Chain A
Amino acid sequence: MRITTENLSYSYGENDKTLRVKALSGVSVTVNEGEFFGIIGQTGSGKSTFVFHLNGLIRVQKGCGAVYVGDYDLTDKKCDFKSLRAKVGMVFQYPEYQLFAETVRDDVAFGLKNFFPGLSDKERAEKVRRAIETVGLDYAKVAEKSPFELSGGQKRRAAIAGVIVTEPEILVLDEPAAGLDPVGKREFMNLVHALHGKFVKTVVIVSHDMNLVSENCTRAAVFSHGEIIKTGTPKEIFADERTLENTGLDLPVTAFLEKRLKEKGVYIDSDLTIKDFTDKFAEKFAGVKKQ
């Protein structure tokens, strides 16, 4: 499923002119199936408002552009938001805060029961098991436990199992690694990569961490004051450092190093992942040494 927004705008407080705040204006972007797409921007730049449009948590306001997700036209009043939400999974910041059921199994099954009430118990149990195992939890150990007995990292995994259990085609994650320790963060990103392409087709990730974006994303969009100021590959986005001006964000380390070296006349043309950057720099350095 491809995501397309056309000239999307949104204002909060539409009933009261004095309180009206424009959160999005004229956002047009396309996310193709299979992408690992980054949404970049400061707090309050409109990222969340944008993302909430993707599964109809926020409805497109009248005359404020259009959103299409696959065959779903989200401006259409008759749009079936429920079936859409089964296909666009959304992982919120600190997703462990939405756990509520008595056992991990029940919590993970919540979405399935809502979206596919017709499933047989056996089918449902199988899907729940698969989701719990996919996020790296030991089904036998955690399924019957209360979600509140799990450790912080496990809780987060359980919460994500509760989102991917409906096998969504698109997975949207808002700052999913926030609050984790360094190793937890790395393991978590490994998990997202493991999901991508197997469990879900497209990943949309909202992040402040430019290193994470340059390391993982195929493309990204930079939000500032409710507008998209740049869309492209990490390379295209970070090539012009003015793009990030006024966003309060830093260049990824690799882009920063490339920029500094360029100023000295040394051109490293990597895709900004650490692997490619270090490969290309090592190559360049070997060349310098020979001279």
Chain B
Amino acid sequence: MALLQVENARFSYDKKTEALKGVSFSAEKGDYLAIIGHNGSGKSTLARLINGLLTPSGGTVTVDGISSVDKEKCFQLRKRVGVVFQNPDNGIIASIVEDDVAFGPENLGVPREEIGERIDFALKAVGMEEYRKSSPARLSGGQKQRVAIAGVLALKPEILVLDESTAMLDPKGRKEILSVVKKLNEEQGVTVIAITHYMEEAAEARDIIVMSDGEIVMRGSPEEIFLKGAELKKYGLELPYPAYVAEKLKEKGVPIDGVVLTREALAEKLEKLCE
């Protein structure tokens, strides 16, 4: 069985309209999965189902063999799935960085000495060791969000869910978060599920799920997904900026083959064409 198994999951907030209309997918350990979709497509509901903040009204969500339907075990689930939310200002509980990171392990009843070790590890993983004693109010958006990630890492989760965690950051903050997440995925083998509005960020993932109106409508590698620009548009999405430029060039008769996801790749292709 896969690490994360979502089967035919349904959810409704008001019992009238369904936010999720039967969603199925799975993720293995070490995966890097991006979920994209227009506002109200059900992405964030899915994130809350994965870590047991919400329980599906139909279907199942299983992490490491633990089902979220079982309310008794929801802490077992939350321990394994860390979620970082959109607004870093609303996710930080304490007025000192290390106290905030300690919050999760304290809740789990981790012995004091080990909490210290976990803080060391988590702050190091996000590159915030030197801010250990700082007040979050004085940090930049990107730094706050790194603290929020550290707070989740201190739970030693197997899956890290980023629920539009970069939406409120400036480009610098966004880059910081992206590189931290990539490092965690590559070096620590943390499974990452990144929900995002930024197509450029989705292009960094190994796999992309496209959601629309509570359903999964596309799944594939970034290359596969962004090959279908017209279909994406139908779902309220767009190509990453470089791919969009490439698309326009193609329309004007410049032969660019395949999908171009990054500006570097596009630059190389254009350079070749001019040789």
Contact B237 A285 (CB under 8 A): no
Q: Residues of B contacting A282 with CB < 8 Å?
A: 249, 252-254
Interface segment, A75-83, A125-133, A142-150, A246-254? A246-254
Report, nearest first, the 6 A-B pairs whose CB atoms are least far apart: A248-B172, A282-B252, A260-B267, A182-B238, A278-B248, A183-B236
A253-B242, A253-B263, A277-B245 given as contacts; is B39 within 8 A of A284 (CB)?
A: no
Contact A182 B267 (CB under 8 A): no
**Other contacts beyond A43-B172, A208-B171, A278-B251: 15, CB < 8 A:** A43-B170, A43-B173, A151-B39, A152-B39, A179-B167, A182-B199, A253-B263, A257-B245, A261-B267, A261-B274, A264-B271, A275-B248, A277-B245, A278-B248, A286-B253
A253-B242, A285-B254 given as contacts; is B197 within 8 A of A182 (CB)?
A: yes
Contact A181 B170 (CB under 8 A): no
CA distance A47 to B85 in the complex (A): 27
Give residues of chain B (1-52) contacting chain A, Cβ–Cβ below 8 Å: 37-40
A232: Cβ under 8 A from any B Cβ: no
B244: Cβ under 8 A from any A Cβ: yes
Q: How large is the interface on B (under 10, 10 to 19, 20 to 34, 35 or more residues)?
A: 35 or more
Q: Residues of B contacting A42 with CB < 8 Å?
A: 170, 172
Give the most central of B175, B244, B273, B274: most A CB within 10 Å: B274
CA distance A37 to B215 in the complex (A): 41
Q: How large is the interface on A (under 10, 10 to 19, 20 to 34, 35 or more residues)?
A: 35 or more
Interface string of B190-206 (1 = CB under 8 A from A): 00000001010000000
Interface string of A266-279 (1 = CB under 8 A from B): 10000000110111
Query: Least Cβ distance of A59 to chain B in Å?
Result: 26
Across the two chains, which residue of chain B brings its CB closest to A275?
B248
- Kindly identify which residue among A278, A284, A288 contacts B245, using a CB–CB cutoff of 8 Å: A278
B140: Cβ under 8 A from any A Cβ: yes
- Kindly identify which residue among B38, B238, B263 contacts A257, using a CB–CB cutoff of 8 Å: B263
Q: Residues of B contacting A281 with CB < 8 Å?
A: 249, 252, 254, 270
